[in-house]
Chain A
């Protein structure tokens, strides 16, 4: 089989001059793995959040006044709007543990209500709702469970009620880790127990959720609600999705800016190095020219060399980022997105790769990298061989 002499020489130059490339490869890998990790992390969280939001009710109504409690009148009025279905009243509020200001989100639901029962069955295939209601039980997130265990509450926790009394509630189940993204500090309780813990009167609710099957009616429903009540806040699913989009676009934009600044600095160093400092490179190009290599041959060699260096750095950087984010769950870096102020976050990051984002990173990196090498090489190649060899 005929093997290409050009390929032979290209491989030879790459391996024989590896010390020349090693610095640029190492810096490139660090930059690419860092920025790819951040983008993998944010894309994965964004994608998981969007998937989770899809399962949530279309609208959530809460009160905008200091008094957050709504009575049954609100439910009745909402139910009377045409197109509204699957109405579900919930109670939620924050419960502060005594230690170190840590808190949990108390969510009180009616487990027999159709959508709640369905959601619980999605989380736990084998859940026995009647057993869950038979005693004072709660379902806690893994972070809450870990926190309670670390404070010696193994099977139950004793809540301090606003009345000054205490209420012991057993841990019925622990939520799967995959729900931590939205339920990291959550405690799910039957609605009556939640009211007791949060000090809410019987029949009082803090949010009402519902669906509207016809998308085109969403704005009408919203207008009707704002027309009927002056003290409510209505949030629909599309608003939440666009909020997340904006939040992640903002964070990704900042990272991209940092990446570009680092890249520009790196490329300037590289350009400087190839332009003036690297005289051996200049001499070698002069020798090749003197021995009959055309400018096109030289540029082909340099282009292939820099492309291979760029491509291998990029692939290694992306693979490292993938392993770091999706196998090791991005230790340290994930706190950029979640913070560390409340209960520790235990997130299982679902592998999600945004191809468009990877292509953009590749282009942003490769074009200046190759240019930083090719332009000085081209300048040397176009001078006379005699001059270049000096």
Chain B
């Protein structure tokens, strides 16, 4: 009788990649099942910004020579949505699982902290990029955007969404209640993304606020992403890329340390 159990344990081909892949698949399905809220809604919001700001400012503002304000605005709006949605994906999934208590299903498994991190991270990147791509496709109806440096788009798209997806994991682990998560959204993510130069070039700001903007990591992600379209930006794209990559690395290490120690997940 006992042999039956042993055989079933050893008989099943246990795959080391299937665990994290399953968690990733579950995270992707989770947002896809409610795609009206997780994809359609942010696309509509971004397009409303685009319609209103371009209607009001297109004839009055020109940030770069030869680039209409609407064209200038679109890359910033795409990147802002990518970042906000990458953050929203990992943070909301974790806080919901914690509040509902179903995070225990994952905590009881042999998944390592690195596998846990990668599954949530990749799901956040994909959600961010899906929303960004949808906005881009819809925006193409309004403006014919050319791409100067596709690799810069890819690099900033991936690194930016990875950075915010990681930040979302930290917020999701740290927050115990939905109002704490809302504070993260309203007092950190929203101000940093609105004050990052989505709607303006920081060169139009007074010198003091230009310096303050340089402390905002969102600025480098927006500026670098915009460079991918126009081949010009407020700062060097290489500098932006290094800052974004370094920020991601720091946050990823913090997240892995939190997960390894079981901070707020395994008391």
Q: Do A and B bind each other?
A: no
